[in-house]
Amino acid sequence: MRVAHACDLPAVGAFKAETEFPILLTERYDRVLSASGGTIAGHPAYTRLHQEDFSQALGILATDKYEEGGRHHYLAAMADLLRRFSSNAIEDIRRLFEMQVFNYLIGNCDAHSKNFSVLRDESWETLRLAPFYDLVSTAVYPELSRTMGMYIGEVSKIDKISRDNFAELSRELKISAKLAEVCVDEICEKVSEVLRGQDFQSEVEEKIADDTRKRIEHISKR
């Protein structure tokens, strides 16, 4: 999450609580102070914001959340939904694209259609891409799949993804080639900068960082 924030990506706030056992606390971004100013037992009242993940929004069965068994153009369908209904479609589709670059770099093969959502405001007048809330580095673990949750262009195997595949994805999402190039390079540079300033605490963290550097080099512009 810290790396995503450093890349100016709208990720959920999270931190590790200093307790006897490790606890990860995450921000409830789907709750806001009630506009009515009401209270409950003397405390400010909160309102629940309506959220739908993209499996729900697109009518994809939960069992089909991974884009398996062939290409089904999940990301293109997600971008189309944002284009039709988002209150700021241009920014949201760009963020959706940037997040695919980020997930590839950190080795997140679990970025399926239920791990991206849309969020309505309290009045239901606006709809936006929700903050990113499930960012994990799965590729570092050899027993886990190395197939991305959704296709990047024509490829889903993380070890076969190239810069050209992100160009293919940008065309599917109807993002200009120039903007896509800028997004890829900016995310690569920002992640590189974060890695340079980190003091890693475990062998797993070191391995994630090393693998990420290799992927940055692989898709960086030459």
Among 55, 104, 108, 99, CA closest to 81 = 55
In terms of Cβ atoms closer than 10 Å to its own Cβ (0-12, 13-18, 19+), residue 43 is exposed
pLDDT given for residue 105 in this prediction: 98
pLDDT given for residue 208 in this prediction: 95
Q: Mean pLDDT throughout 44-70? A: 93
Dist CA 192 CA 34 (whole Å): 40
Amino acid found at 178: K
DSSP SS3 for 148: strand
Q: What is the CA radius of gyration of the chain?
A: 18
In terms of Cβ atoms closer than 10 Å to its own Cβ (0-12, 13-18, 19+), residue 58 is middle
pLDDT given for residue 222 in this prediction: 58
pLDDT given for residue 42 in this prediction: 78
pLDDT given for residue 133 in this prediction: 92
pLDDT given for residue 38 in this prediction: 79
pLDDT given for residue 15 in this prediction: 83
Give pTM, 2 decimals.
0.92
Write out the catalytic residue numbers. 110
Beta bridge partners of 68: none
**Where are the strands (E) in 84-160, listed by range?**
117-120, 127-129, 147-152, 155-157
Tell me the domain boundaries of the chain.
50-219
Dist CA 99 CA 94 (whole Å): 9
192-215: pLDDT as tens digits: 999 997 788 889 999 999 999 999
In terms of Cβ atoms closer than 10 Å to its own Cβ (0-12, 13-18, 19+), residue 113 is buried
141-175: pLDDT as tens digits: 999 999 999 999 999 999 999 999 999 999 999 99
pLDDT given for residue 179 in this prediction: 97
Q: Is the pLDDT of residue 37 over 80?
A: no
Q: Mean pLDDT throughout 178-195? A: 96
What is the residue-averaged pLDDT of the chain?
93
Q: Is the pLDDT of residue 7 over 90?
A: no
Beta bridge partners of 40: 43
pLDDT given for residue 24 in this prediction: 84
Bigger pLDDT: 37 or 70? 70
% of the chain exceeding 70 in pLDDT: 100
CATH architecture of 50-219: Orthogonal Bundle (1.10)
User: Can you spell out the DSSP letters for 152-169?
Assistant: ETTEEEGGG--HHHHHHH
